[in-house]
Amino acid sequence: MSPSEPLLVTAFDRLRFLVVDDDRAILEMVDAMLRMAGAGSVIKAVSALAALNILADQQKGSDCIICDQSMHTMTGLELLRDIRVGRYSYIPRDISFIMLTSHGGEVVVRAAIDLDVNSYIMKPVSKDGLVKAVHRAFNRSIALKASEDYSSVKLPIDGEVGSADPKKNR
């Protein structure tokens, strides 16, 4: 999809979002913006590990994950890679994933693209920017690659912009 192509409008009222960020102020702000846009439901998680616990509960299914990159223990890129690899049988490998970050460094962006991120949004977040990111995410269908292709994606390491915990990069 080229930037000049119009985005198809996404029906927010039917979507279930999972927002993941270790900054509670960002969580509340993104939650409020999604609700103002008419989101069907929004669940918040303060870490990737908390998000995995929520996703394991089949009654709390999500259509879209909006996830911060720079978090301790497990970064957004690590979570995206594990999902695309198929590490968690209860999460569809092709789930819509929007990377939310204050780091737009080339290494982070390249890894997100290689992991077939559906959309990318820079902080500070605006309601318009968030809505456009959601529309882009649901207008971008991905052709899943083999799990091994995702496993081999190089994630940021120590000294590269966007790595929250370099020791955790695999």
CATH class of 13-145: alpha beta
Note the pLDDT tens digit of each residue in 64-96. 999 999 998 999 999 999 999 999 999 999 999
Q: What confidence tens digit (pLDDT) does each residue in 107-166 have?
A: 999 999 999 999 999 999 999 999 999 999 999 889 999 999 999 999 987 445 544 443
pLDDT-wise least confident of 4-18, 54-68, 115-129:
4-18
Burial class (CB in 10 A: 0-12, 13-18, 19+), 46: middle
pLDDT at 1 over 70: no
For the residues 14-26, what does the mean pLDDT come to? Answer: 96
Average pLDDT over residues 59-68: 93
H runs (alpha helix) in 103-146: 106-114, 127-139
pTM: 0.88
Burial of 45 (0-12, 13-18, 19+ CB in 10 A): buried
Q: Structural domain boundaries of the chain?
A: 13-145
| Residue 102 confidence (pLDDT) | 87
Grade residue 7 by pLDDT with cuts at 50, 70 and 90: low
How far is CA 141 from its chain centroid? Answer: 15
Whether residue 33 has pLDDT greater than 90: yes
* 149 and 61 Cβ atoms separated by less than 8 Å: no
As a whole number, mean pLDDT of residues 53-72 equals 92
Helix (H, G, I), strand (E, B) or coil at 15: coil
